[in-house]
Structure 1
């Protein structure tokens, strides 16, 4: 799969820039490559269908399978609207009433757990991209989300807010700086699905003790209208072969590496 992905990228990237899908109509495509571009676009536009099919083309709208497109139906059972959900989602868990706690947990538990065929996204700081490409890093762990729920979110500020990556370490270092424009994105599948769980805090029956901006309720604390159910690996694991790593600059995705089963191989 890695060889196929690399070959495809070499065939289509030399004559076009990687841009947001909203700008595709503005691209000048040489006549001799128009047919090739159309065929590749048809084959690769939806990364939610599987790892190895995006190759730099981006989505501008949330997948029909995104939980944000399903939550209204779920909330009807509780006579809640999305606004009520969003406000409750941001409450500290120790401030939730028993009713709110019960509803939030039931809503989160509706989200289907990833399988070994589910495309996932791990967002990484821009400075870590080279560490994966060079082989210093090979494994993935920590917090992840389904591509269905995150794949449509591209711009740096939107990704940072949607995943609440606006945290700093005790020494003041912030992996995703406020004035940044670049981050890394790994699109992958995993065989270690039994090692992934909802990052619930104690009141939700879990063991997560991470501090803010972690909500401890299984959703990111996004304040921009996005709804992102998050998942957490209990350790770091190798992804399945064919995982892709992108460098994303100002919302434009550039495929820079493909996992060959042992390490990420650079795509030139």
Structure 2
């Protein structure tokens, strides 16, 4: 297990070919999400507001299975467990709130494991299929939506306070033939 933790914290370029094979085998053994898998994406307050006012209605970028993030409770847990400390990040451990979209989607062909050379972001992005985790927080299996997807009806936006308390603030639904996130009144 110590080998695994060591390997998942390294960028793919820092791993030996043997370590890459081992880590890739572990990563590919994790069941791929299906249309009933609850996924999660952490977003900023500005993004949450744009989802709630109808500016945004699709989801893209880095996501995770919600079950894999259960150990992340506080803002610091999310920040270090998901390695939101990348260059030019919009996140801080001092943020008043974090926001998360929890959703299911039928567009799973857009969901990829970020383990090949087309993913070029700098560390702490690992390109090994896992977030590296930091400050005592475990990393998680990571996916990338390489094209934006629509969530299924019932997707939710949650506000997360620094202590980990969560509040449901929005739901994806159809009103007047328009599918988008609506504020909880």
Matching residue of 1:100: 19
Check conservation: 2:80, 2:137, Cα contact below 8 A. no
Please list the CA deviations of residues 165-199 of structure 1 after superposition, one character each: whole Å capped at 9, or x if unmatched.
11232xxxx31124224110111000101110101
Matching residue of 1:267: 184
Answer 1 or 2: which has greater strand percent: 2
Structure 2 Cα separation of the partners of residues 234 and 165 of structure 1:
19
SS of residue paired to 2:67: helix
Say which of 213, 216, 229 aligns to 2:127. 216
Structure 1 Cα separation of the partners of residues 49 and 71 of structure 2:
24
Check conservation: 1:149, 1:227, Cα contact below 8 A. no
Please list the CA deviations of residues 74-110 of structure 1 after superposition, one character each: whole Å capped at 9, or x if unmatched.
xxxxxxxx22211122223222122111101101010
SS of residue paired to 1:235: strand
SS of residue paired to 2:102: strand
Structure-2-length-normalised TM-score: 0.91
Please list the CA deviations of residues 225-261 of structure 1 after superposition, one character each: whole Å capped at 9, or x if unmatched.
4141001111112100000001111211110110004
Check conservation: 1:248, 1:254, Cα contact below 8 A. yes
* 1:59-70 matched pairs, under 5 angstroms: none
Larger Rg, first or second structure (1 or 2): 1
* 1:225 to 1:85, Cα distance in 2 relative to 1, 3 A: farther
* 1:84-95 matched pairs, under 5 angstroms: 84-95=3-14
Asked whether 1:256 is paired with 2:169, we answer: yes
Asked whether 1:189 is paired with 2:104, we answer: yes
Asked whether 1:123 is paired with 2:45, we answer: no
Check conservation: 2:11, 2:123, Cα contact below 8 A. no
Matching residue of 1:177: 92
Any gaps of 5 or more consecutive residues in structure 1?
1-81
Structure 2 Cα separation of the partners of residues 184 and 233 of structure 1:
18
Q: How many residues align?
A: 179
Asked whether 1:146 is paired with 2:59, we answer: no
Say which of 148, 152, 156 aligns to 1:236. 148
Matching residue of 1:246: 158
Higher relative contact order (CA 8 A, sep 6+): 2
* 1:111 to 1:147, Cα distance in 2 relative to 1, 3 A: same
Check conservation: 1:121, 1:144, Cα contact below 8 A. yes
* 1:131 to 1:143, Cα distance in 2 relative to 1, 3 A: same
Structure 2 Cα separation of the partners of residues 266 and 225 of structure 1:
32
Runs of 4+ in 1 over 6 A off after TM superposition: none
Matching residue of 2:74: 155
Structure 2 Cα separation of the partners of residues 248 and 227 of structure 1:
19
Matching residue of 2:86: 167
Matching residue of 1:6: none
